[in-house]
């Protein structure tokens, strides 16, 4: 199947031929749909705490985290292209005619171009846009008055202006402040200082970035870091990683043969956010908070977000402490009946671990070994918000291909909505995954887990794409918080809706939470 040139290309990317053959098999066979057993709800997979318990978890985090190295891990390599989709479409069609103006004013829905233009001064980037337009002999006020809307939109998207069509979300101005606007990267610097400060006052933040934008991230942070260090009384340790070429996946044609570019080379595509598992695996830190680059809020409403960061962090540390106690006790004193009974109660009530029927036929020592294997894993505590109709993944109780039942975050594309029974379970779901989680990456003896050992390879995605006018099939690796963490210990906690403020379209920046 592979030519000499193909093998050279694979070597340069650090991909084994066997990996590509395995991916082609996935295209041929497809991935099974997730088998949902029930939605995770309050009391059945999702924990909900009262005010006293929340305060206790916050205090526990404050006390216990002092001895640990905390890290904040922010996937920030995604382009902002989708944020401006409606502006691209507008720019293609708008010709300034009366008919075009009428069409513009007809749609006044929140995500419309009309709202974008009429509220342009409410964006944090408005002042900078005005400066760019002045360099073209116009201004924001003049362009609005003349209804020269193409000039305004071009000023946002094109290289002579803000160049937002070619920048990642991390480098876009999100929020206004009296001292000047902030990008989402700067807001993560502030948030990190308030919940991820280590005992020496250091704040360790890791950004995953695309290679073409790494320099811009470094320039921005070098410029802004001294200001925030002085303002917040911290010292930042910022590092970066790039999605590895070895995590790219082969594309195939509609006959599942490798898709070739015009020059005959194999076409590889980025493997989706699941590819970042390798970056996470190599990152430092005893505990790692993960949050998407665009899910960030300004100072005015930040307090509640910080509180729940500490709540999920405190819960993670409590769980880890208890699991480590159990595992050390098994090492020291073996599988005593009372100890095993305590582990069963804790695992079912606190970790929602499903104990299979076969377990009850095991001897006491075999049960001890079973728990050692079942509990000595990476741990994640995930905040879950009430579902307000947002598209995307949610928390479910799932049976995997080995018959194991566990808590999982499942994307809508993994669910067979055409199956009435599965659709019914989706309709009963109450919560949504905002990607706000904290992870423990070391075993009870302080050794780092190899995260690749805990992936469910049967949870990837296949999608239809095109290149050069030819259709192709693309493969995404198991998602970072989906199948890539399938065999972790997982706990879901209800957190308030204010902790979820993503910016999917540029108009989302006009929502009250971002103003």
Each residue's pLDDT tens digit, 6-30: 999 999 999 999 999 999 999 999 9
Greatest mean pLDDT among 175-189, 390-404, 415-429, 475-489 lies in 175-189
Contact at 8 Å (CB) between 437 and 481? yes
User: Within 13 Å of residue 390, how many CA atoms lie on the same side as its CB?
Assistant: 21
Mean pLDDT of 216-245: 96
Radius of gyration of the chain (CA): 25
Residue 393 has pLDDT above 90, yes or no: no
Mean pLDDT of the chain: 94
Q: Where are the alpha helices (DSSP H) in 383-497?
A: 420-427
Residue among 437, 182, 173 at smallest CA distance from 292 = 437
The Cβ of residue 490 has, within 10 Å, a number of other Cβ atoms equal to: 25
pLDDT number for residue 231: 97
DSSP 105-138: HH--STTSHHHHHHTGGGSTTHHHHHHHHHTTT-
pLDDT number for residue 283: 87
Angle among Cα 226, 228, 234 to the nearest 5 degrees reads 90
The Cβ of residue 149 has, within 10 Å, a number of other Cβ atoms equal to: 23
Residue 67 has pLDDT above 90, yes or no: no
Dihedral of the alpha carbons of 475, 476, 478, 481, in degrees to the nearest 10: -170
Q: Tell me the per-residue pLDDT of 261-320, one tens digit each, with 9 for 90 and over.
A: 999 999 999 888 888 999 999 987 889 999 999 999 999 999 999 999 999 999 999 999
Contacts of residue 427, Cβ cutoff 8 Å, sequence gap at least 6: none
User: Within 13 Å of residue 172, how many CA atoms lie on the same side as its CB?
Assistant: 27
pLDDT number for residue 173: 98
Residue 462 has pLDDT above 80, yes or no: yes
First to last CA, the chain: 56
Beta partners for residue 81, in sequence order = none
Contact at 8 Å (CB) between 228 and 248? no
Q: What is the DSSP pairing of strand 41-42 with strand 35-39?
A: unpaired
* More confident of the two residues 380 and 271: 380
> Confidence class of residue 391 from pLDDT cuts 50, 70 and 90?
low
pLDDT number for residue 273: 85
Q: Tell me the per-residue pLDDT of 174-212, one tens digit each, with 9 for 90 and over.
A: 999 999 999 999 999 999 999 999 999 999 999 999 899
What are residue 50's phi and psi, to 5 degrees?
Answer: -85, 175
Angle among Cα 56, 233, 297 to the nearest 5 degrees reads 65
Mean pLDDT of 324-336: 92
> Confidence class of residue 466 from pLDDT cuts 50, 70 and 90?
confident
| CB-based burial, 6-29: b 16+ in 10 Å, e otherwise | beeebeeeebeeeebeebbebbee
Per DSSP, the three-state class of 370 is helix
Tokens standing for 328?
A: 């050390």
Residue 463 has pLDDT above 90, yes or no: no
pLDDT number for residue 392: 63
> Confidence class of residue 403 from pLDDT cuts 50, 70 and 90?
confident
Report yes or no on whether pTM surpasses 0.85: yes
Helix %, strand %, coil % of the chain (to 5): 50, 20, 30
DSSP classification of residue 44: B
Contacts of residue 482, Cβ cutoff 8 Å, sequence gap at least 6: 274, 393, 408, 409, 410, 411, 414, 459
Share of the chain above pLDDT 70, in %: 99
Residue among 73, 54, 50 at smallest CA distance from 62 = 54
457 vs 483: CA distance, rounded Å: 7
Share of the chain above pLDDT 90, in %: 85
> Confidence class of residue 390 from pLDDT cuts 50, 70 and 90?
low
Mean pLDDT of 118-133: 97
Residue 167 has pLDDT above 90, yes or no: yes
């Amino acid at each position: 199947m592979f030519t000499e040139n193909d093998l050279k290309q694979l070597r340069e990317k650090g991909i084994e031929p066997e990996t590509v053959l395995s991916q082609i098999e996935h295209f041929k066979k497809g991935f099974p749909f997730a088998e949902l057993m029930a939605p995770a709800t309050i009391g059945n997979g999702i924990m909900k705490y009262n005010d006293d318990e929340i305060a206790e978890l916050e205090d526990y985090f404050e006390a216990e985290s002092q001895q640990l190295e905390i890290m904040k891990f922010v996937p920030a390599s995604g382009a902002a292209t989708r944020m401006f989709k409606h502006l691209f479409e507008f720019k293609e069609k708008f010709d300034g005619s009366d008919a075009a103006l009428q069409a513009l004013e007809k749609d006044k829905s929140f995500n419309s171009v009309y709202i974008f233009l009429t509220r342009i001064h409410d964006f944090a980037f408005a002042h900078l846009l005005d400066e760019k337009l002045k360099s073209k002999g116009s201004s924001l006020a003049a362009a609005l008055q003349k209804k020269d809307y193409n000039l305004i939109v071009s000023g946002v998207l094109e290289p002579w202006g803000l160049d937002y069509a070619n920048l990642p979300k991390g480098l876009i101005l999100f929020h206004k402040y009296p001292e000047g606007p902030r990008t989402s990267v700067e807001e993560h610097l502030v948030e990190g200082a308030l919940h991820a400060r280590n005992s020496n006052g250091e704040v360790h933040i890791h950004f995953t970035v695309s290679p073409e934008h790494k320099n811009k991230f470094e320039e921005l942070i070098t410029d802004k870091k001294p200001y925030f260090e002085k303002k917040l009384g911290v010292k930042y340790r910022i590092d970066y990683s790039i999605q590895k070429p070895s995590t790219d996946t082969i594309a195939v044609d509609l006959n599942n043969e490798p898709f070739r570019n015009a020059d005959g080379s194999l076409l590889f595509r980025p493997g989706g956010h699941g590819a970042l598992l390798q970056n996470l695996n190599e990152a430092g830190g005893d505990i790692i908070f993960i949050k998407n680059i665009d899910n960030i809020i300004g100072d005015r409403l930040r307090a509640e977000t910080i509180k729940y960061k500490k709540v999920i962090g405190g819960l993670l540390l409590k769980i880890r402490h208890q699991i480590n106690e159990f595992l050390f006790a098994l090492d020291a004193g073996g599988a005593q009946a009372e100890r095993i009974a305590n582990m069963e109660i804790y695992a079912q009530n606190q970790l929602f671990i499903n104990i299979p029927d076969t377990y009850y036929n095991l001897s006491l020592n075999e049960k001890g070994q079973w728990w050692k294997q079942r509990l000595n894993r990476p741990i994640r505590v995930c905040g879950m918000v009430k579902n307000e109709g947002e598209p995307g993944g949610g928390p479910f109780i799932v049976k995997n291909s080995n018959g194991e039942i566990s808590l999982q975050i499942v994307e809508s594309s993994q669910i067979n909505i055409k199956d009435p029974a599965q659709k019914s379970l989706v309709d009963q779901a109450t919560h949504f995954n905002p990607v706000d989680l904290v992870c423990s990456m070391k075993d009870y003896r302080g050794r780092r887990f190899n995260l690749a050992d805990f992936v469910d390879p049967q949870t990837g995605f296949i999608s239809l794409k095109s290149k050069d006018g030819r259709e192709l099939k693309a493969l995404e690796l198991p998602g970072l918080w989906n199948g890539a963490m399938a065999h972790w210990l997982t706990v879901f906690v209800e957190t308030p809706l204010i902790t979820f403020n993503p910016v999917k379209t540029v108009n989302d920046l006009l929502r009250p939470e971002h103003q």
